[in-house]
Amino acid sequence: MFAIVETGGKQYKVEKGTTLEIERLKEKEGASINLDQVLLISDKEDTKVGNPFISGAVVSGKIVEHKRGVKIVVFKMKAKKRYQKTQGHRQELTVVEITDIKSSGAKATPAKPAAAKKAPAKKVEEKED
C-alpha cells in the first residue's frame, strides 16, 4: 500500500517503513505526527483519489531527526562591471519515518472530478443562448 502526501508545499510518495526528508517541522525528535493532506491512497486492488484531499485519511509517522541539507552556493556576476556577489543557503529539514497509512471512510474517486467538469460546460452554453 502506498499514498501520496502533501507537506511543505511538496508531494511525496510514501509507503509503510519509508524514510523521507521534508521541510522543518516544529515538533521535537521522537514525536509522532499525522499528515492529513493525503492526495491518493492505493493498494493492489483499490485506488482512492481525493478532490483535492481524501477526507478521513491519515498517514502517521515518527520524527527521527532534524538536520540541515547540503549547502547551495548562489553566485551572481555582471561581466565588465566589476560586480560579484556570493550567497549560500542550507535548508532546514526533518527526517520522518512512516509508520502507518490509514484510509477510513473515504469514497472519492476519479469519476467525480470528471463529472464536475461537464456540469460547468452546460451552464456556459445556456448563458450564451
Domain ranges of the chain: 2-128
Residue recorded with cell 547551495: 72
Beta-bridge partners for 74: 87
Q: Cα separation of 63 and 30, whole Å?
A: 5
pLDDT digits over 83-93, tens only?
A: 999 999 999 99
Asked if residue 34 has pLDDT above 80, the reply is yes
* Confidence band, pLDDT 50/70/90 cuts, at residue 47: very high
- CB within 8 Å of 101: residues ≥ 6 apart: 1, 2, 3, 14, 15, 16, 41, 59, 60
Give the predicted TM-score (pTM) of the model. Answer: 0.71
- Measured in residues, the chain has a length of 129
